Amino acid sequence: MEVKVLTIREDILGANTEIARRNQERLDKHRVLTVNVMSSPGAGKTSLILQTIGKLKEKARIAVIEGDIASTIDADKVHQQGVPVIQINTAGGCHLDANMTENALDNLPLEEVDLLLIENVGNLVCPAEFALGEHTKVMLSSVSEGDDKPCKYPLMFTETDVVLVNKIDLLPYLDFNVSEFNKAITGLNPRVRIFQVSCKTGEGLQAWFSWLEDEIEQMKNHHGKNINS
């Protein structure tokens, strides 16, 4: 029975990859830089998204997809910021997938969006396996989770393009070795970009905003080139 499950699992992942590819083509067409935001529960995904909206909404047209097992708590907070938001409730599912994302894209005015932030379900395991069509994978790792997370959940740290080490305002009260943590991440993923931030105090976020603005700009230029070539 185990083999049977694995086969079907491969089918699921294969079908997911195909839909993710279709989603990305659609997002490329509309020049929507799309970021898949992942982390453990309570590591600060929604806080990061709210901070990013607050800083960049005058410069870029932002939309959000909120993935949750239950509730609309996060989507309500985003909605109050005046940006389009779609809530996906997974009804127990432990990650977003490309099909759910496609349904959400059907309900967003993509021609009027420059940056799409997708908040995945809080889970350090399963979301890493399912592409949604995003251009960039971003993960948050809260210092309160401890500095052994890269060793214990390697796939997420290997798959991501960016790690935001969040809640650095709590560092004085924790046993957390920043340099060992960074070393473990770059050992798994040498090309990863790491930002030390506090979404609560705002410390360190400017570097993240600047990086994201560059990415949005590159998406516009890159796509312009494709059209003209």
**Farthest-apart Cα atoms in the chain, separation:** 55
Query: Where on the phi/psi map is residue 86: left (φ > 0), alpha (ψ -120 to 50), or beta?
Result: beta
Question: Looking at 13, 28, 42, 57, which residue binds a copy of itself (CB under 8 A)?
Answer: 42
Closer to a copy of itself at the Cβ: 9 or 59? 9
Angle in degrees, CA 199, 172, 159, rounded to 5:
50
- d(Cα 167, Cα 15) in Å, to the nearest integer? 37
Q: Is 6 in the site for a copy of itself (CB under 8 A)?
A: no
Q: Which of 40, 87, 160, 196 binds a copy of itself (CB under 8 A)?
A: 40
Give the contact letters, 50-69, x = binds to a copy of itself (CB under 8 A), - = no: ------------------xx
Work out whether 85 is an interface residue with a copy of itself (CB under 8 A).
no
Distances (CA, A) of 146 to 139, 176, 196, 225: 15, 6, 14, 44
User: Residue 137, interface with a copy of itself (CB under 8 A)?
Assistant: no
Report residue 11 as tokens.
Answer: 């089918």
Binding segment toward a copy of itself, per CB under 8 A, in 52-60, 117-125, 208-216, 217-225: 117-125
Please give the single-letter amino acid code of residue 194. I
Q: Which two tokens stand for residue 91?
A: 């009804």
**Residues from 155 through 184 that contact a copy of itself (CB under 8 A):** 155, 167, 169-170, 173
Distance CA(132)–CA(50), nearest Å, equals 21
Do the beta carbons of residue 127 and residue 120 sit within 8 Å?
Answer: yes
In the shown chain, the binding pattern of residues 187 to 216 toward a copy of itself, with x for contact by CB under 8 A and - for none, equals: ------------------------------
| DSSP structural state of residue 124 | S
Among 5, 58, 225, 229, binds a copy of itself (CB under 8 A): 5
SS3 155: helix
The window from 111-119, 120-128, 190-198, 215-223 that contacts a copy of itself (CB under 8 A) reads 120-128
Q: Binding to a copy of itself by residue 144, rule CB under 8 A?
A: yes
Nearer to a copy of itself, 2 or 58 (CB): 2
Q: Residue length, the chain?
A: 229
Which residue of 29, 41, 214, 224 would you call a contact of a copy of itself, by CB under 8 A? Answer: 41
- Report the 10 Å Cβ neighbour count for 228: 6
Residues near a copy of itself (CB under 8 A) are 1, 4-5, 8, 11-12, 15, 40-43, 68-71, 73-74, 92, 94, 121-126, 129, 142, 144-146, 148-149, 151-155, 167, 169-170, 173
